[in-house]
Structure 1
Amino acid sequence: MTGASKGFASEWLQRHRGLGLLRLAALYADADGIPDQETIDAIALILEAGALADTSPCPMWPELAGGLMDRQPGTMIWVLRESGVLQAILPEIADLFGVPQIADDPSEVDLGVHLMRTLNETARLGAPLEVRFAALVMNVGKSDSPVEHLPVHYRHVERGGPRIEGICARFGVPDACRDMAMLALTESERVHRVSSIRAGPIAAMLERLGAFDRPARFRNLLLLCLCDYNAYARLLERPYGKSAILEAALAACGEIDHDDTIEAIGDAAFADWLRSARAGAIAEALRSLRWPTD
């Protein structure tokens, strides 16, 4: 679908009403272009007429999820925002547009525009739904950062947590999506800042992220961070070095031979031994210091 006339949109929305607003927007996530202004106006008019007034959020989730899983989920968000539907159903997301964030290259981005680019990257790289949902909501704590601090967002994690929980509760979002969103909220910026200089903190991060016992979850977070990185227009063709650091560290930890150690020292001491051994293995692999005080 390359476009839609006002007549088509009106006919569609008259047939489907309520959820039809989201369904039509989601169609554009699998399109090669954006709707014309007449279509946007038609959606806005039917929204203003109360099409969503009697529609609870939970039935909206399959429509949103379907759009997130298509080729251009960022386009769905664009249609919802331009028509006013995004502000009606996801004000936490709508409020990100126009909010600046500091970046390396370019030096500053609009969080709403960046969100749409990140979503399109999740589609390009074939990310699962939980990664795409996390990309949608992980920055919601930044919408009302104090103006005097912009474009830095102090304490956005504390503000974002309850908002993500609220979105998940009202839409009936699956637990896997909620868990990935909360992990992204607290850890994505730490992944972006990881350095090979200190092995001990990397070992602690791998444990915290579940790299040893929940590897799929860990790699989904790295995929999300890659999509977030690629969404900066000038970085798309540059390798994402943070993933390489963490993958190399994880591989080094996998070489540790600890089969006989737990029997020799017991359960209580084994956890401390393993953390130290992992830090040592990472330090050797990355040629870095083991602990910050080394």
Structure 2
Amino acid sequence: MQTYIVGGAVRDALLGLPVNDHDWVVVGATPHEMISAGYLPVGKDFPVFLHPQTREEYALARTERKTARGYHGFVFHAEPDVTLEEDLARRDLTINAMAQDEHGRLIDPFGGRADLQARMLRHVTEAFREDPVRILRVARFAARFTEFNLAPETLALMREMVGAGEVDALVAERVWQELARGLMEQRPSRMFAVLRECGALARLLPEVQRLWGVPQREAWHPEVDTGLHLMMVLDMSARLEAALPVRFACLTHDLGKGTTPPDILPRHIGHEERSAQLLRGVCERLRVPVECRELADVVAREHGNIHRSQGFGAAAIVRLLERCDAFRKPQRFDAILLACECDARGRLGMQELPYPQRQRLNAALAAAQAVNTHAVATAAQGQGVTGPRIGELIHHARVEAVAQSLAMAAPAAADTQSRG
């Protein structure tokens, strides 16, 4: 029985990156021997065990055989006669197919270290084609390791897999899992660039795929192309360290521009509602979590109004806050504003511009929240007012509070501009 550190821990150590988790492969052992040694079995599809002290995962060396399309169509063989090299041969990329023994010796049968030095993402063997999830993983690694290039032969293999319909057999949960992880990488745009190049994006997210080549008004979008704008927005969300719901909202906020009637291009009248409708289909198909779905829906519908809100008066601002459910969910409202900031700054030449709408609307929300709604309701009831009329009085009180806040902020803003 021999144990080896494998995969990402070896790769990241060679790159000089922090190593937070270790994956282990065990050669020459049976499940019974692992359990007898105190390891806790946790694997469903193949033998994986938790170390009795460290709780790190130890998997028996295994090979696999493709039996059907998709992610689950495999039969695994995990017996003591499976060698370390046979186990490494089934992995996705050469940079993930290295191991280290207990003495620190590197085992690298497929040239992973050389590909690290060359900054190359290359598949290990033809077994790569048997698992379509690897297409998503490669795209995700491209978003993480921004200096790495995709080997031409790996890209060609991925295109063959897409053409054979392997991507169509992926289960929704796994697609969402990989997309979500890719959105959280250093440069999410690279994930979508790889998916586009191999043809997978058109199969998985046709609503996003169709945005490339769609023109926009140059006065607002110097980058013109809607797909290019979307990638700039995603990378801005990574730069601003946005959470996953914000990044997903950035991905889907302009879906409706892909269905704008040709006769009104490059204007996109009504694209917000079309975006929200297309978003529903994406969320149902990929089983997107509720938090991501709800935030993205508000951003899709309201991002244009939020951009224009610098010219809004108090009444229009309060109506906007109400539509965004900002009074009940103020933290989510700030996340909505962050997504809109990413949209505004994800444009050619506008990356360093401020986004004053965020500060102004948050200040307006704070002023409206300061209204004592209980006192307003109690006073109204004392005068015999009931039902929806009480809600109207609360609304008017919030409008007055926001109006006062805007009036107080105006001289300060003017003074700042005159001194600037």
Distance 1:256 1:52, change over 3 A: closer
Structure 1 counterpart of 2:391, one-letter code: A
Distance 2:287 2:255 in 1: 18
For residue 404 of structure 2, what is the aligned residue in structure 1?
284
Give the Cα–Cα distance (whole angstroms) in 2 for the partners of residues 234 and 24 of structure 1.
30
Q: Which residue of 2 aligns with 1:292?
A: none
Out of 142, 167, 174, the position equivalent to 1:52 is: 167
Say if 2:126 is the partner of 1:19: no
Q: Is the 8 A contact 1:118 1:230 kept in 2?
A: yes
Larger Rg over CA atoms? 2
Deviations 1:229-248 (A, max 9, x none): 11012222111021122122
Counterpart mapping for 1:28-177 below 5 A? 28-33=142-147, 35-36=149-150, 38=152, 39-102=154-217, 104-107=219-222, 109-177=224-292
Residues 153/12 of structure 1: CA separation in 2 closer, same or farther (3 Å cut): farther
**Cα contact 2:188–2:235 (8 A) shared by 1:** yes
**How has the CA–CA distance of structure 1 residues 48 and 13 changed in structure 2, closer, same or farther, with 3 Å as cutoff?**
farther
2:143–2:188 CA contact under 8 A, matched in 1: yes
Which 5+ residue runs of structure 2 have no aligned equivalent? 1-115, 409-420
- In the alignment, residue 213 of structure 2 is paired with which amino acid? G
Return the alpha-carbon distance in structure 1 between the equivalents of residues 334 and 186 of structure 2. 21
Give the Å deviation of 1:256. Answer: 2.7
Cα-Cα RMSD: 2.2
Structure 2 residue identity aligned to 1:150: L
Partner SS state of residue 123, structure 2: helix
Runs of 4+ in structure 1 off by over 6 angstroms are none
Which AA in structure 2 matches 1:287?
A: A
Which structure shows the bigger proportion of residues in strand conformation? 2
TM-score, length of structure 2 as denominator length: 0.63
Is 1:181 paired with 2:296?
yes
Aligned residues of 2:146 and 2:186 also touching (Cα < 8 A) = no
Change in Cα spacing, 1:97 to 1:68, as seen in structure 2 (3 Å) is same
Distance 1:225 1:263 in 2: 37
CA distance in structure 2 between the aligned counterparts of 1:107 and 1:278, rounded to whole angstroms: 38
SS of alignment partner, residue 317 of structure 2: helix
- CA distance in 2 between counterparts of 1:131 and 1:12 reads 37
Letter in 1 for 2:244: L
**Does structure 1 residue 270 correspond to structure 2 residue 384?**
no
Contact 2:216 2:226 in 1 (8 A): yes
Relative to the length of structure 1, the TM-score reads: 0.89
Q: Unpaired segments of 5 or more residues in structure 1? A: 289-294
Residue in 2 aligned with 1:221?
Answer: 336
Please identify which structure carries the higher helix content.
1
Tell me the CA shift for residue 158 of structure 1.
3.7
Number of aligned residue pairs: 286
My pick for the range that moved more, 245-254 or 118-127, is 245-254
Contact 1:140-1:164 at 8 Å conserved across structures: yes
